[in-house]
Amino acid sequence: MSATEPKTHSEEVYASLRAELLGGTFLPGSKLRLAGLGTRYGVSLSVVREAMTRLAGEGLVRALPQRGFSVAPLSVEDLLDLTRARVLIETAVLRESISQGGLEWESAVIAAHHTLQGTPYTTREGHLGGDWSLAHHAFHRTLLTGANSPRLESIATELRDCSLLYQHWSIDIAHDLDRDVAAEHRHIAELAVARDAEGAVQALTEHIERTTAALLAYAESNANAGRTVGISA
């Protein structure tokens, strides 16, 4: 679709639902009722179902056989597995980038970090900012481009995309606002450009694992309080 071509109803519903999912409007595991959403957006059930199917392909919602759709649950097992996979892959590719990346890569990392640094982290409502998410994705992707391995970059990007909902939940439902995320990114960028592979890998590992720690603490707190809706072991 070109930039000037108007969005279809399906595109509009998909974009709105995606923003609400990432903005914490729906709790993990909650049922998404197609009829109610169709009424709210003023579209047919087929339009809502098409948007849901796209969101399911991104892992943001889950299709329930004969029961419609629900928000993906906060799965402790999946979160731990995803975190382990991200750390293994992203740190390995980062090492390659630091070893092989040239001046052009260094400049790209500095530019991507500058954009990220200048983009508001949260919205006025306290949700993770959409523009910040895009800048964040670009920064982490740029860190890995020095490896000159499209396959490894693709694997790392796919894993990072899988963590998108967890990243938003760490702010919107776990309220992980005490950490200095800007300082974490600055530290990673500085170490990478300084060619300190060990330091950069350690900083990136801690950065990834902090989000996981916040969500695990949220899951444990809710379990202890007897609130386990949307949380699975």
pLDDT, tens digit (0-9, with 9 covering 90-100), for 45-103: 999 999 999 998 888 888 887 778 998 888 889 999 999 999 999 999 999 999 999 99
Protein fold of 9-72: Arc Repressor Mutant, subunit A (1.10.10)
Beta pairing class for 231-232 and 74-75: parallel
Q: How far apart are CA 99 and CA 60, in angstroms?
A: 35
Question: How far apart are the C-alpha atoms of 109 and 191, rounded to whole Å?
Answer: 11
User: Of 150, 210, 208, 199, which Cα lies nearest the Cα of 177?
Assistant: 210
pTM given for the model = 0.78
**Domain boundaries of the chain, sorted by first residue:** 9-72, 75-232
> Which tens digits make up the pLDDT trace of 138-178?
999 999 999 999 999 999 988 888 888 888 788 776 677 67
For residues 193 and 117, give the distance between their C-alpha atoms in angstroms, rounded to a whole number.
Answer: 16
Q: What topology is assigned to 75-232 in CATH?
A: Four Helix Bundle (Hemerythrin (Met), subunit A) (1.20.120)
**Cα–Cα dist 208/199, whole Å:** 14
